[in-house]
A and B are shown apart, each in its own frame.
Chain A
């Protein structure tokens, strides 16, 4: 171990030792040098993808919903969404001026904006009408006799009521309230009915009215009750600050076959790999000759030069909608992944591969003409993988606007490797080899993604970034270097409801 040291040869000793020493810089050093020399790398594919996606969304929004505004604050409408789950049915309907019969009226429970009512005619109250309808907050509305006038500020969120005939149904946003009142000449007392109706009030009213049968006139007491209710609630108009909001996107009923969708997707991606030395192997004292290059203290990844390459994931999945915001999915997909390796052609060199098999260390001596460090010419290798996978995962809606929903998604992919061309490192990291019998056939990948979803042309489109990570190493456990793949992709998919 000890060097026969002679102070007379001190300089030559140090020089000799120092000259034998090598260190390998991290990838970042070269990138910084390159950036300084040639400017920063551009990533045209990503830029192009981002521009394309933005353009598609913009075009879809422009041409699909030209007249409708997006919510300023969708969260404010969540309460409406929830309360609209249950409705009370109220049945008075105007037949003509001053004449009322009954027809089904649907009113959302809890606080809802109620239309201005002109008692001179039918009173049809629409909740959440399109925001593009003009609304004059200081509208002065009078009945036919001119004795009904109201200059009070109307609750916001209301739409100006047009005169409606009996039985007319308005379906502004899927939440409809029709309330018809028998006007027996007291309309001037009632004035302009505007405001909000509470769930309990509506329910009480519904019960009261329905108890009188379907084709009976609502009695005056009932009408007065409704009128007084509306007036009182309108003073505490919850939607006073939501004037600018349009209606909520119509809800879609989810039931039976309607829950199933078919998704087709493709994900262009670029694959990177990173390498780790297997802790189990390094802790094993019998692995003294293991492929961990003991005289090189740098990690294996410092000895190789990776180059990402374009891959593709395509597949289809069945989606089952569990709730409005949550759905699960599974299907079948094919992955083509690849990454490049910068190497050098060299004369055949002896390369040892040590495998940690169950019955002990297995040393395999091979010859390789591919060097990681130097050679008579450079060469670019490519490790390729063709896989099929069964992804099982979920999508969760995290936000939405009128026309675009935003999801996050995660999936586990049970993967079988159909074919591969895969280079591994020799013990001393100096050579590349192929050893197909240690390639791992079954693997597990995880994928996380975020995407925007929007409808166009009768189908739902979705697009967003995806990251995929291979949990198990590309080689079996006998090989002491763990090599994991990680893919960065941009997923584009279409979803069609199954009939």
Chain B
């Protein structure tokens, strides 16, 4: 079933088409939710709420962009709304925990993507949200400031700190190499 047929079916409220759409996009969208959510259960709740919005607002999709991008925006906004509703942005930043919390040992080393996502989730919720929105979802700081009801400068500073923190975590987990300073050129004295 191609995408147009799925959309048409969903417009007609067809359960088969809706299931098809869900099967096709839910793995990726759950991953999106998981990066925002405090737990897997919360991520599934976000996914559920997001897909209900997708199905109920699918008539607003105007074929002007990628369908997946449209779904993704709805899912991201749903995640932010859930976090706002639960006042998760006010959670304290436990830097010590974030630095030392272990990623699940059962994850094989080849699962870099999974490890990176887990490392992102170790960040405090505010940092995590900004990283997700800016670095992964491609929102600008201005858009982020509107979405999260914060100053644009706050978004920038949060992102800078989040980036530094995430880098440390990734290095500590040996997912990335520590950036070595470039060796200085030594000019022999004549």
Contacts and interface: CB of A to CB of B under 8 A. Distances in A.
Interface of A: 1-7, 10-11, 13-15, 17-26, 28-30, 32-34, 36-38, 294-295, 297, 305, 342, 373-374, 377-378
Given A25-B26, A25-B44, A5 B179 contact: yes
A33 B26 CA distance: 12
Contacts of B110: 294-295
Given A4-B177, A5-B179, A377-B1, A22 B107 contact: no
Contacts of B129: none
A297 B114 contact: yes
B182 to A, nearest CB: 12
A305 B20 CA distance: 12
A14 B176 contact: no
Given A14-B135, A25-B44, A37-B55, A295 B20 contact: no
Contacts of A2: 174-177
Which 3 A-B pairs give the minimum distances between C-beta atoms? A5-B176, A20-B113, A17-B116
A36 B55 CA distance: 11
Contacts of A1: 109, 174
Contacts of A10: 135, 163, 167
A404 to B, nearest CB: 41
B107 A305 contact: no
Given A10-B135, A377-B1, A378-B1, A18 B116 contact: yes
A194 to B, nearest CB: 70
Contacts of B65: none
Given A5-B176, A33-B51, A11 B27 contact: no
Contacts, number: 124
**Max chain A C-beta neighbours (<10 A), residue from B13, B27, B167, B179:** B27
B47 A29 contact: yes
A267 B35 CA distance: 47
A34 B15 CA distance: 8
Contacts of A15: 135-136, 138
B18 interface: yes
Interface of B is mostly: helix
B44 A29 contact: yes
Contacts of B127: none
Contact of A297 (B15, B55, B106): B106
Contact-residue size bin, chain B (C-beta under 8 Å from the other chain): 35 or more
Contacts of B43: 23
A302 to B, nearest CB: 9
B19 to A, nearest CB: 7
Contact of A7 (B104, B109, B179): B179
Contacts of A34: 15, 18-19
B48 A24 contact: no
A24 B34 CA distance: 11
A30 B106 contact: no
**Max chain A C-beta neighbours (<10 A), residue from B35, B113, B131, B163:** B113
Given A33-B51, A294-B108, A17 B135 contact: no
B24 to A, nearest CB: 7
Contacts of B22: 30, 33
Interface in B1-45: 1, 13, 15, 18-20, 22-24, 26-28, 30-31, 34-35, 40, 43-44
A297 B107 contact: yes
Contact of A25 (B30, B176, B179): B30
B41 to A, nearest CB: 9
A38 B12 CA distance: 12
Contact of A18 (B15, B31, B106, B166): B31
B89 interface: no
B52 A23 contact: no
A10 B170 CA distance: 11
Contacts of B40: 23
Contacts of A38: 13, 15
A17 B112 contact: yes
Interface in B105-162: 106-114, 116-117, 120, 131, 134-136, 138
Contacts of B19: 30, 34
Given A10-B167, A21-B117, 12 more contacts: A3-B112, A3-B175, A17-B112, A18-B113, A25-B26, A30-B19, A30-B22, A30-B26, A37-B18, A294-B111, A297-B104, A373-B23
Contacts of A374: 23-24
A4 B177 CA distance: 6
A24 B174 contact: no
A7 B135 CA distance: 12
Contacts of A342: 23
